[in-house]
Chains A and B, each alone.
Chain A
Amino acid sequence: MVNLKLSEDKINQIKEICKSFNNEKGELINVLHKTQTMYGYLPAEVQEVIARELNVSTAHVYGVVTFYSFFTMIPKGEFPISICMGTACYVRGAEKVLDEFKRELKIAVGETSKDGKFSLSCLRCVGACGLAPVVLVGEKVYGRVSPDGVKDIIAEYKQ
């Protein structure tokens, strides 16, 4: 893992978050949610700070972070791309769309492109099955995406 040093500022912000939940260890998941929203991801250093504040072991925090797929230890791209892999999207060809994204971006699921622009992940059912297959870029939803349309979606964010 890359060695990064957290700024004093960031450490204080994380401490603030812990404090807003009374440094209660039962609130760990809420703390992680808030921290990830602020920081973008949850690298080891961040987990260490949280562990200290909530008075639990870093291993416990790590165990929780890695258990839940929502938490990530790798920074997401500037434009996170998520392909819905719910059953409805799957039967309407989501896998082919995913393959095309992998090929175009030259990254695998869970990775971020070298320039930091795009990251690729899979989602389970966003609830827009009428538009299957569905792709999300950030919060924007693209419906009825075909492998052919993948290039155009990426191009929108390329400049």
Chain B
Amino acid sequence: MAKFKMHLLVCGGTGCHASLSQTIGDNLKEILVEKGLDHEVQVIMTGCFGFCEKGPIVKVMPDNTFYTEVKPADAREIIEEHIIKGRKVNRLLYQDPENKEHVSDSKHMGFYKKQIRIALRNCGFIDPENIDEYIARDGYEALGKVLTEMDAQQTIDIIKKSGLRGRGGGGFPTGLKWEITSKSQADQKYVVCNADEGDPGAFMDRSILEGDPHSVIEAMAICGYSIGGTKGLVYIRAEYPLAITRLKIAIAQAREYGLLGTDILGSGFDFDIELRYGAGAFVCGEETALIHSMEGMRGEPTFKPPFPSVSGYLGKPTNVNNVETFASIPVIINKGADWFSSIGSEKSKGTKVFALAGKINNVGLIEVPMGITLREIIYEIGGGIKDGKKFKAVQTGGPSGGCLTEHHLDTPIDYDNLIAAGSMMGSGGMIVMDEDDCMVSVAKFYLDFTVEESCGKCTPCRIGNKRLYEILETITQGKGTMEDLQKLKNLSYVIKDASLCGLGQTSPNPVLSTLDNFWDEYVEHVTVKKCRSSQCKALMQYIIEAEQCVGCTACARNCPVNAISGERKLAHYINQDICIKCGACMEKCKFNAISIK
């Protein structure tokens, strides 16, 4: 990057992309040409910066100025003021929500202060479509070191010693998995990168592939060397077109540089990578299902053992790891196992990327040391709950996980503590909920997902989850009984015990954990037929307070089903039998005469 004096890093992640960041980049380039500065200042489209809430983001280097919520029309001011006159554009700087001061360096923002970036180290810093930029940040150094200075076992030993555990959800020790695969005897072995990312609230794997695809390629080659395999496969969702494009470009560049292909760096080691596309089935994230899908079949899980490490793709030993797991490997080789294991908690080393979303001020992608507390994540990094509402729960682990509550705010987050609290790490979705969220409805939302995604092989999973869903539906309609609550529990345990794969074994978790933590809410739905968050339509009524109603007719005119009657200038009335509870009337009433009961 030497010849340019300054760089303008524009976020090209999915969120910012949707807010026209490409146009921002194009405008910046155009204006630089106009000013004759295009040889001194370079515009780079990068991967996700993480701070999606405040996107699109433009960062000016080397002075580290971090502009937020930039619009295409702001490009001129950034160049004329900042680049040419050296004056920062204050109105685009992040404003500290407490003291209202402008913060220009992201290091000093609450959102970034507690983050440690390992897997995301390059996201937002480099142009993912340019291998030279990856190399300039020590890229492929680890591969070089491994191929020239270390043997397979030494490499495995470093990963083992680092304490790295699989980031795809299960938390299996990565070094141990590599060792098992390396000891399996076969004429061919495969390295598979699981980029299926099925959790409907997680997008970290996608961001890594979009922002730093070479880190995954490098790690897969290192893994191939360690286990004795020459073929790599990335199983990626077809719904991720940008990630697929960037990955393809990166693979082509790595081949061109001799970092993939035959006799890599003159070491005699061959390795190459191909892509396989997923087609929208959550269960295909499960490793045996994933392998069947790669073989062109329905993605149905099969019984383990044999584990893929022994018999996987085409019956050969196959090492399956998650994207984020791979992305951490090169740094561990470069900086050493001790460095990595000095970060994190006792049994969970390093960092974890979370997709922080929901009712939180700072939605985004964060990477934090294991062992951090939920309180730190939600209130310091996340900036607290949106609109000053009250925190209610945070859901981790996606459809396999559970809800954590106020009581868990000070629990250090790691694999084991989350499981003890009735949830799990999962792939890293972290959805924050406030007082307006009904926990019965949330459980129903996840069950709806599971019912749709169950592969149908096991009866308890296929039919049991459907029954769970129906019971939850009955409860949200105000027709549930106390007996139903007991049934929910019993059935959940049966499904957990009698299902073949992780999907079925964990699918009742959202139900069990909400029953545990929000029992009162369930009971309220069932006994007094009340939904305290006013989410369950069947349990609420829109009522017009006669004293407040001035008879302006605004509500009646906007009701899509003509449920409102009343004379002009006289109090109106809602016929509950006709009302479909759309809420349109309440929004239109200027006199606050309509309320939900």
Within 8 A of A (CB), among B102-134: none
Q: Are A88 and B431 in contact (CB-based, < 8 A)?
A: yes
Q: Are A30 and B281 in contact (CB-based, < 8 A)?
A: no
Within 8 A of B (CB), among A7-35: 24-30, 32-33
The interface-forming segment of B179-187, B257-265, B354-362, B517-525 is B354-362
For A63, A91, A130, which residue has the most chain B Cβ atoms within 10 angstroms?
A130
Q: Is B42 an interface residue (CB 8 A)?
A: no
The interface-forming segment of A66-74, A111-119, A151-159 is A66-74
A62 to chain B, nearest CB (A): 10
Q: How far is the CA of A26 from the CA of B274 in the complex (A)?
A: 14
Option from B53, B54, B299 in Cβ contact (under 8 Å) with A67: B299
User: What are 18 of the A-B contact pairs (CB < 8 Å)?
Assistant: A28-B296, A30-B296, A68-B280, A87-B358, A87-B429, A88-B431, A91-B358, A91-B431, A91-B433, A125-B200, A125-B201, A127-B13, A127-B15, A127-B207, A128-B15, A129-B363, A132-B363, A143-B18
Q: Are A124 and B18 in contact (CB-based, < 8 A)?
A: no
Q: Are B279 and A130 in contact (CB-based, < 8 A)?
A: no
Q: Are B296 and A27 in contact (CB-based, < 8 A)?
A: yes
Q: Are A129 and B15 in contact (CB-based, < 8 A)?
A: yes
Residues on A with C-beta less than 8 A from B54 are: 130
Q: Are B52 and A129 in contact (CB-based, < 8 A)?
A: yes
Residues on A with C-beta less than 8 A from B534 are: none
Residues on B with C-beta less than 8 A from A107 are: none
Q: How far is the CA of A40 from the CA of B572 in the complex (A)?
A: 51
What is the 8 Å Cβ interface bit string for chain A, positions 117-159, against chain B (1 contact, 0 not)? Answer: 0000001111111111010000001010000000000000000
Q: How far is the CA of A71 from the CA of B278 in the complex (A)?
A: 11
With A124-B282, A127-B203 given, name 4 new contacts (CB 8 A): A25-B296, A68-B279, A124-B449, A129-B203
Residues on A with C-beta less than 8 A from B15 are: 127-131, 143
Known: A67-B281, A68-B281, A92-B358. Contact between A130 and B297, CB under 8 A?
no
Option from A63, A86, A92 in Cβ contact (under 8 Å) with B298: A63
Q: Are A70 and B295 in contact (CB-based, < 8 A)?
A: no
A140 to chain B, nearest CB (A): 8
Q: Are B18 and A141 in contact (CB-based, < 8 A)?
A: yes
Q: Is A81 an interface residue (CB 8 A)?
A: no
Q: How many residues belonging to A are interface residues under a CB distance threshold of 8 Å?
A: 37
Residues on B with C-beta less than 8 A from A67 are: 281, 298-299, 455
B387 to chain A, nearest CB (A): 12
Residues on B with C-beta less than 8 A from A131 are: 15, 18-19, 52
Known: A26-B296, A128-B52. Contact between A33 and B203, CB under 8 A?
no
User: Nearest 6 CB-CB pairs, A to B?
Assistant: A130-B52, A127-B203, A68-B279, A88-B357, A141-B18, A87-B201
Q: How many A-B residue pairs have CB under 8 A?
A: 120
Q: How far is the CA of A63 from the CA of B207 in the complex (A)?
A: 32
A22 to chain B, nearest CB (A): 12
Option from B203, B279, B442 in Cβ contact (under 8 Å) with A71: B279
Q: Is A85 an interface residue (CB 8 A)?
A: yes
Residues on A with C-beta less than 8 A from B200 are: 85-87, 124-125
Q: How far is the CA of A85 from the CA of B15 in the complex (A)?
A: 16
Q: Is A90 an interface residue (CB 8 A)?
A: yes
Q: How far is the CA of A68 from the CA of B442 in the complex (A)?
A: 25
Q: Is B379 an interface residue (CB 8 A)?
A: no
Option from B297, B363, B455 in Cβ contact (under 8 Å) with A64: B297
Q: Are A123 and B239 in contact (CB-based, < 8 A)?
A: yes
B34 to chain A, nearest CB (A): 29
A16 to chain B, nearest CB (A): 19
Q: Are B296 and A29 in contact (CB-based, < 8 A)?
A: yes
Q: Are B293 and A29 in contact (CB-based, < 8 A)?
A: yes
Q: Are B238 and A87 in contact (CB-based, < 8 A)?
A: no
Option from B55, B395, B560 in Cβ contact (under 8 Å) with A130: B55
Known: A29-B279, A131-B18, A143-B18. Contact between A87 and B298, CB under 8 A?
no
